[in-house]
Structure 1
Amino acid sequence: MVEFKLPDVGEGMHEGEIVKVLVRTGESVQQDQPLLEVQTDKVNAELSAPVTGVIREIFIVEGETVEVGTTLLVIDAGTEPKKEEEKLPEKVANTEKTVNFAPVRTDHRRSLATPYVRQLAREMKLDIELVTGTGAAGRVTEEDLRQFANRMQNSVPAQFPATAASHGRHLEASAAAVETTQLQPKTETVTRVATSSQGDIQRLPLKGIRKKIAEHMVKSVTIIPHVTSVDELEMDQLRALRERLKPHADKRNIKLTFLPFFIKALVIALKEFPMLNASIDDSTNEILLKRFYNIGIATDTPEGLIVPVIKDADHKSIFQLAEEINQLARLAREGKLTMEHITGGTFTISNVGPIGGLQATPIINHPEVAIISLHKMEKRWVVREDEGVIRWMMNLSLSFDHRLIDGVTAVRFTNRIKELLEDPNLLFAEMV
């Protein structure tokens, strides 16, 4: 009997909410077949069977929150002889001598990989046990899968795909089992209706992403003394530049918004004002000055606000940033973000301009020390050289941690961002 316990699928994860139970007691399952869907810190993780066997007991129900290490179900692995397909790694190893394929595992230990990466391997029709992991402790990453697939495509002779396909039969069977399970009726959210002196009140459970957001916001405002500074930005020249670049972006099938320009200006300013790219280690009373620039993009999704992170934004072009922003937004809306996508941020941008609003007091994404909010763009009467003119204007709201950042520093920081964006020629001249 194998006790399947809730693993730590994210950085510092302590608990998870059971979103879906994909199997039933008495059901036969294959190794790597999805068993459960768990809601962790703003992402859904699919947990797969570690062995082939039969589900004997299920100890959890949908909607329940359990701690890491809790036994979720028991699988009877049995003593069935191994199927012929499981001997295929030897055949692939022989093939490797002629096609320069990736090293094959011969120790029969299961590869380390997150549930998301295992799911991706199934979708790509790859045997994850043949992939060499480059992550921590040899963990197989998403990039490892893609490189493995590229090597297969570029190196394997024409007759090899048939062998690879037969090697992946158990993966296709697992996928089919998932599709069958997903056809079953979903468990609806339980609500209660109570009657008060003013009328009926519907009670909804605080759960899932909304619960995680609530917990994170309370932690942030409890620890960080927030101060917000508001300024305005003239957008005419940046609008003109974007219009000139849009045809080039369209040729690459890239949706070009204003956000990539803000990110580039932000990175330049962060390098000049390093305290805004820092964090405080409360356990040691140390300031952590970060020499990397990972920019979080607050994204509205049907499930709530999620902040995917663009890593090493200072090393990416305007077009690269635009492409990654669109990709992360799509993954967020589809609920396909992984912990890798939402961790490691050093500064966050919240762009509420397309919705509206003149200004706000955005809450800092702890443990970061600042967040900037972009508001709606509109034509306003402004005074330039003692004359009233019409300009495209936008407000910026910067919330900062007053333990680390003084008001003067915050205003100088936003002034630098304004300077770069109001004159895009200067922005491009300052880019590294």
Structure 2
Amino acid sequence: MITEFKFPDVGEGIAEGEIIRWHVKEGELVKADQTMVEVETDKANVEIPSPRNGVVLKLLAREGEIINVGQVIIIIGDKGDRLEPVLAKEEIEEEKPVSVGVVGVLEEAPDEEEAKEEEKAEKRVLAIPSVRALAKKLGIEITQIKGTGPLGRVTEKDVRKFAETIKKPKEELVPEVAPEKDFYGPVEAVPLRGMRRTIAKKMVKSIYTAPHVAMMDEANVTELVRIREKVKEAAARKGVNLTYLSFIIKATVAALKEYPYINASLDDEKEIINLKKYYNVGIAVDTPEGLIVPVIKAADQKGLLELARILQELKVKARSRKIDLIDLKGGSFTISDYGALGGIYGTPIINYPEVAILGVGKIQDKLAMKEGEIVTQKIMALSLSFDHRVVDGGQAAGFLNAVIQHLEAPELILLE
């Protein structure tokens, strides 16, 4: 039995992926649940297993190709099965009658159109009549189109996409240059693929959907630094790297409870603001491929050491692209710790459809007055970007002040 295997829906919101590597070859025996292909989605790398035992008859997508959910990517059969191209019923031509004479069978001479068809036998493509009619209507030779459907079948989408590439006005054309250089010198052309492509789309959607406003302030974390230095060795003995981020998460959750409109999302279609009654905090993690935002679920129910341990695990998984999709969903608020990379201030883009994001800068030594004396204080820079459709300046300032209050008085964090 021949089985056409489609790229499955591997998670909420994922519509496409890029094939990173095939683990099987045509003609190779496969077993059920054996990894067939590794696909990069906008969330993580996913290994797709074989649905059955059998033989790989055909790979229908190349490494580096972008595939859509529901697209046939591989055909598996049994030993002895042969894969034959099957034309649609509408494409099967009726056999022409032959003439019979006294000296034998005389075939009718092919007309001019048939002769042309025979010349194109090598180039014959699979396509249903309606698609062929569309190509003819648009003045396109269908043999020039590369099909993306099963067995290379040309689809309506293929025809329209090809038509778009040939109808650009001449004034849009630019002089051809070698791909490795432009008019000014050498360049390297890097395809916008995988996670980088997804990040680009999400950033554009966020910035053009949510009117961003940024607010900045500073927190005196001198006491927080002292407390962390005091307890980090004890945490290390338990195998936990206690960073400032754990304290920041606790301070953020406390502030979110005071200002629920920061912990929300906006449903544009229904025109409803959804106030989240849970506190799932996303943490932007820098990876070689770009930012990934793992989510710590129920952050309000976890202690400092548990938060630190979960952060360690999620960062390792994110950077290796082996993170589970469930760990990338369900966030209600996001923190971007660019201070860990040496940044001071920034204006992070909201992780849409959330309505705000907190940016955390590095801790710096600054001079300040304390009880009439000039002293050195530890100062942390903070930035809050928020969606002005949902959050007003007063709410944003109140939230940021609540975060600062907890960071400057870490005993409040320990009580959370």
What is the TM-score of this pair, normalised by structure 1? 0.72
Task: Give SS of 2:13's match.
Answer: coil
Query: 1:340-396 CA distances to partner (integer Å, 9 max, x unpaired)?
Result: 011100001111112212211100001111101111111011233454321011100
The answer for the alignment partner of 2:248 in structure 1 is 262
The answer for the alignment partner of 1:21 in structure 2 is 22
The answer for the alignment partner of 1:68 in structure 2 is 69
Q: For 2:4 and 2:185, how far apart are their aligned partners in 1? A: 48
Residue identity (%): 45
Query: 1:67-112 CA distances to partner (integer Å, 9 max, x unpaired)?
Result: 11100010004599xxxxxxxxxxxxxxxxxxxxxxxxxxxxxxxx
Task: Give SS of 2:181's match.
Answer: strand
Task: Give SS of 1:46's match.
Answer: strand
Query: 1:144-187 CA distances to partner (integer Å, 9 max, x unpaired)?
Result: xxxxxxxxxxxxxxxxxxxxxxxxxxxxxxxxxxxxxxxxxxxx
Contact kept? 1:293, 1:311, Cα under 8 Å: yes
Q: Note if 1:194 corresponds to 2:195.
A: no
Q: For 2:8 and 2:243, how far apart are their aligned partners in 1? A: 39
Q: For 1:256 and 1:194, how far apart are their aligned partners in 2? A: 47
The answer for the alignment partner of 1:46 in structure 2 is 47
Q: For 1:313 and 1:60, how far apart are their aligned partners in 2? A: 41
Shift, 1:334, TM fit: 1.2
One-letter identity of the residue aligned with 1:420: H
Shift, 1:63, TM fit: 1.1
The match for 1:390 among 361, 376, 383 is: 376
Structure 2 gaps of 5+ residues are 82-177
One-letter identity of the residue aligned with 2:45: N
Contact kept? 1:20, 1:37, Cα under 8 Å: yes
The answer for the alignment partner of 2:107 in structure 1 is none
Contact kept? 1:2, 1:77, Cα under 8 Å: no
The match for 1:306 among 282, 292, 302 is: 292
Q: For 2:51 and 2:342, how far apart are their aligned partners in 1? A: 48
The answer for the alignment partner of 1:186 in structure 2 is none
Task: Give SS of 1:262's match.
Answer: helix
Q: For 2:405 and 2:181, how far apart are their aligned partners in 1? A: 57
Contact kept? 1:307, 1:342, Cα under 8 Å: yes
The answer for the alignment partner of 1:35 in structure 2 is 36
Structure 1 gaps of 5+ residues are 81-191
Task: Give SS of 2:188's match.
Answer: strand
Question: Superposed, which structure 2 residues align to 1:241-320 within 5 Å?
Answer: 241-320=227-306
The answer for the alignment partner of 2:139 in structure 1 is none
The answer for the alignment partner of 1:334 in structure 2 is 320
The answer for the alignment partner of 2:10 in structure 1 is 9
Contact kept? 1:353, 1:374, Cα under 8 Å: yes
The answer for the alignment partner of 1:357 in structure 2 is 343
One-letter identity of the residue aligned with 2:9: D
The answer for the alignment partner of 2:394 in structure 1 is 408
One-letter identity of the residue aligned with 2:363: M
Q: How many residues align?
A: 319
What is the TM-score of this pair, normalised by structure 2? 0.75
Q: For 1:399 and 1:197, how far apart are their aligned partners in 2? A: 39
The answer for the alignment partner of 1:108 in structure 2 is none
The answer for the alignment partner of 1:426 in structure 2 is 412
One-letter identity of the residue aligned with 1:282: D
The answer for the alignment partner of 1:138 in structure 2 is none
Shift, 1:201, TM fit: 2.1
Q: What's the Cα RMSD here?
A: 1.5
Question: Superposed, which structure 2 residues align to 1:363-382 within 5 Å?
Answer: 363-382=349-368
Task: Give SS of 1:253's match.
Answer: coil
Q: For 2:322 and 2:332, how far apart are their aligned partners in 1? A: 22
Contact kept? 1:51, 1:77, Cα under 8 Å: no
